[in-house]
Amino acid sequence: DAGITQSPRHKVTETGTPVTLRCHQTENHRYMYWYRQDPGHGLRLIHYSYGVKDTDKGEVSDGYSVSRSKTEDFLLTLESATSSQTSVYFCAIGRRDRGQETQYFGPGTRLLVL
């Protein structure tokens, strides 16, 4: 257990509304990630962070923004939600285990955009 929580766990929203998902970690890890998981596509990286206020884009960043004002929190915002953003969103932290980089995932947020 890497001490990762995500909130909310489930959300239903309407097209065009803003949505913010929160990821919280308790172990002070530098790297944090946001992924989305869709059938047939697997896990796709949206954005990641390598420190407070340091973020970068991933493979599918269009329509998403992130912020990290504290080490423990990484926020994902959908500025104007679209139906194509209906997905399961996972947060992950990067951790070095015995010299190897690994990632540990949170429980996920299921988002439905109507």
Partner 1 sequence: QKEVEQDPGPLSVPEGAIVSLNCTYSNSAFQYFMWYRQYSRKGPELLMYTYSSGNKEDGRFTAQVDKSSKYISLFIRDSQPSDSATYLCAMSGNTGNQFYFGTGTSLTVIP
**Binding to partner 1 by residue 107, rule CB under 8 A?**
yes
Query: Is residue 42 part of the contact set for partner 1 (CB under 8 A)?
Result: yes
Residue whose entry in the numeric block shows the structure tokens 């970690």: 25
Shortest reach from residue 101's CB to partner 1, in Å = 3
Q: Is 43 in the site for partner 1 (CB under 8 A)?
A: yes
**CA–centroid distance for 22 within its chain:** 8
Q: Is 90 in the site for partner 1 (CB under 8 A)?
A: yes
Stretch that binds partner 1, among 17-25, 62-70, 74-82, 99-107 (CB under 8 A): 99-107
Selection from 26, 73, 27 nearest residue 49 by Cα: 73
In this chain, which of 69, 101, 111, 113 binds partner 1, going by CB under 8 A?
101
* CA atoms of 111 and 84, how far apart (whole Å): 11
Which residue stretch of 12-20, 60-68, 78-86, 104-112 sits at the interface with partner 1 (rule: CB under 8 A)? 104-112
What's 60-90 look like in SS3?
CCCCEEEEEEECCEEEEEECCCCHHHCEEEE
Residue 56 in tokens: 């970068």
* Sites of contact with partner 1 (CB under 8 A): 31, 33, 40-43, 45, 48, 50, 58, 90, 94, 97, 99-108
